[in-house]
Structure 1
Amino acid sequence: MKPLVRNAALNSYIELSRSLGIDPRELMKRVGLDPAGLAVQDRWISGVAVTQLFELSAVASRREDFGLLLAERRRLSNLGPISLVIREEPDVRSALELLVRHEYMYNEMLHSRLSETNGLATLKVALEPGEAMPARQAMELAVGVFHQVLRGFLGARWQPVSVCFTHGAPADTGTHRRAFGPVVEFDREFNGIVFYASDLSVPNPMSDPLLHAYARQYFDSIAVSRDTTVPDRVRELIEVLLPTGRCSIEQVATSLGVDRRTVHRHLSASGESFSSLLNTTRAQLAEQLVANQRRSLTEISGLLGFAAPSAFSRWFGQRFGCSPREWRNRRTRQRHSGEE
């Protein structure tokens, strides 16, 4: 399986594209991405498709700085749940190390490394989409986002020693100098940021010591292993896609950047099928949702991807041996008897 990225990688893409006079939805369809799926931030999509999309957008808009313009629109919160933890880390070093160590949780293409020597810290950034392809825009986006994160901790006037790119300079370097200052360099041997190692010890002004432990506990509860299996990926996608009413093996395959036969083959090798994972995941979610008295059964039906409450009730009866309302009432009685 080729690496995936979260839908959040396309945050502000639609708005930026339209501001530059290009049709973002048409370009997305050309690389096999579903524009309607952007509403689901935690959905996984093909890293190759996203990389191709950025290159096509740069050509269509005639802006060699497309990736960097996108980076300028990013906020720390765009990184998802990990941003809540990073915000509470005590200093720049711990925040940056956490971001690098868990980068696979939001971008499986991204491979970064932080090192220190002779008073300088070097953050090297690499992208591995799984095949040889142009990735200038995606790289500038990645380096630009890291730069934004560092500036968020160190202040708007902070400037690194240098910002390096392996590719050549664009015809107009105005955006790059606005973003990075006069220290941006091209045709270097690596992509990344060089800055003073002392910056890593700067206290994080956003951190609240009382919230740090809670933030870490929360993150530990949602953190996933780097060695995620295909069934794990499919199960996660099912959870994300069910409320959209478009949860199918075709949609899952599109998100994974493969065809449905490839998904079927990987699941079969694990003794699973798409139907078995769908039913198991639905059942687990149904137990949690039906037990919640504040949610109506009609609302739960939609969250589980059923076209109508009657279809949900039939499925629930076959799975649990009673109607959702009966199951809820039974759980309520058990809870009350336990309290007594």
Structure 2
Amino acid sequence: MSAQPLSGAALRSRTVSNRLAADVLDAAVAAGVGPDLFAQRTGISARDLTDVDGRIDGVRHARFVEFMCSLSPSIEWLVERRCALFPHFPALGNLCFNARTLRDAIDAFMRFRPIVGEFDFLFFRETADWVQIEYVAEFMPQHCLQALANFQVLATLIRAYDMTGTTLFHVSLTGRAPRNARLLADYFGAPIQFEASANCMRFAASLLDRPFSHYNAPLAPHLLQQAQQKLQQSQRGYRFSASVEQLITALVTDPDNDMPGTASLLARVCERLETSRWTLHRRLRIEGLNFGDLEARVKLDQACRLLGETQRSLSEISEMLGFSSQSAFTRFFRSRHQMAPQAFRQHQQQWNAVSSCESARA
């Protein structure tokens, strides 16, 4: 599995918790890199890190990861620091460490990872004997620091659900071995394979569905609600679906644009956002939407506007909005507005006439 590199609008549209940047700054300072140089190279100032709920835009997040990767292998900060993620994000940690089974815990982690950031992907594969989690980065995939950080976090979570304490993790990373690779082997319990074709971590599947003895069922709904609220808070300043909907509207209403079908429309939106179809669908799913939902919403809004504000025929409107025929447009409109387009137009004309009379009397 691979992802297209990010740039331009796609980078600007992403956000990541500034807690990650604060960790990187601490590690850099401990390794002799001053905060002034860090700010100069990343664009992240000390003021940006004061709000514990703050977010870093995608461009600056990419810069601080590139900065840390450029210092490797002289700084192997992840190896020596261990995982500090869950203490920074208690809503995520509390939910993940109070699940019925490890399977539920991993599912919660993958579902609510956008609380932390929106720059990478985890893929879960299971056989009768083992579970494999693959990490895919959307930028700087040639470096393995990001994969290593995620695998350390997951190993911390998985070990909490292993009552025997014997879990070994077989890890393969795409990057070159750091100078202190032995510490990684000690941490995961097995030697690491470097310069691999993909970033993967495997462990025994027998752990997945064992009941967790410390699971607190009455508390679980409250922890889920907290995580949902935190996720909404992290996304409140930016909704990816809003940008997608704006682009669809611009394409649909462009008088010089031959209205394409759904596949071509999707391709044009991806081109404008500088992202892949796969990434676009994945990010919309996080917000509980899909491309078809947004396309239908835009076309319905524009249909209502054209029916109410213009005298264009139904045939013209259906063609403008990219429907294959007038009958297809009528079926679409009726299914969503519970009336035929012509009936809606008559209703709107009557309403406009009444409104005009009332305004004249006033």
Same fold (TM over 0.5): yes
TM-aligned CA deviation for residue 197 of structure 1: 0.9
Greater shift after overlay, 204-213 or 187-196?
204-213
1:164 equivalenced with 2:172 (yes/no): yes
Q: Quick one: which amino acid aligns to residue 159 of structure 1?
A: T
What is the aligned counterpart of 1:67 among 74, 78, 88?
78
Q: Is the 8 A contact 2:69 2:143 kept in 1?
A: no
Between stretches 145-154 and 132-141, larger displacement belongs to: 132-141
Mapped contact 1:168–1:187 kept (Cα < 8 A): yes
Q: In angstroms, what is the RMSD of aligned CA positions?
A: 3.2
Shift of 1:177: 1.8
- 1:89 deviates by 1.3
Report the alpha carbon displacement of residue 32 of structure 1 after superposing the two structures with TM: 0.9
Count of residue pairs the alignment pairs up: 231
Q: Would the alpha carbon gap of residues 97 and 52 (structure 1) be closer, same or farther in structure 2, given more than 3 Å must change?
A: same
* Deviation of 1:97 (Å): 0.7
Amino acid at match of 1:127: A
1:218 deviation in Å? 3.2
Q: Counterparts of 1:18-97 in structure 2 under 5 Å? A: 18-57=29-68, 59-60=70-71, 63=74, 65-70=76-81, 72-97=82-107
* Pick aligned residue for 1:109 from 90, 107, 119: 119
> Are 2:136 and 1:126 equivalent residues in the alignment?
yes
Cα shift readout 1:249-272 (whole Å, capped 9, x = no counterpart)? xxxxxxxxxxxxxxxxxxxxxxxx
Aligned pair partner of 2:182 in 174, 179, 183: 174
Distance 1:92 1:138 in 2: 23
Matched-pair contact (CA < 8 Å) for 1:116–1:122: yes
**TM-superposed deviation, 1:48:** 4.7
Question: What TM-score do the two structures reach when normalised by structure 1?
Answer: 0.58
Larger Rg: 2
Q: CA deviation at 1:111?
A: 0.8
* d(CA) in 1 for partners of 2:104, 2:185: 28
From the superposition, tell whether residues 69 and 53 of structure 1 become closer, same or farther in structure 2 (CA, over 3 Å). farther
Code of the residue aligned with 2:107 in structure 1: it is E
Q: Deviations over 1:86-133 (max 9, x none)?
A: 22211111010111122223210021121211321111111214xx57
For structure 2, list consecutive stretches of 5 or more residues without a partner in the other structure. 1-11, 243-362
Once residues 78 and 151 of structure 1 are traced to their aligned partners in structure 2, the CA distance between those partners, rounded to angstroms, is 19
Partner of residue 311, structure 1: none
Percent identity over the alignment is: 16
The answer to whether the 8 Å contact 2:144/2:174 transfers is no
Q: Distance in 1 between matches of 2:13 and 2:131?
A: 31
**Which deviates more from structure 2 when the two are superposed, residues 61-70 or residues 102-111?**
61-70
Unmatched tracts of structure 1, length 5 or more: 235-340
- Looking at structure 2, the residues matched to 185 and 206 of structure 1 have their Cα atoms a distance apart, in angstroms, of 34
CA distance in 2, matches of 1:182, 1:108: 30
- How far, CA to CA, are the matches of 2:57 and 2:239 in structure 1? 17
Tell me, in whole angstroms, the C-alpha distance in 2 between the residues paired with 1:15 and 1:66.
10
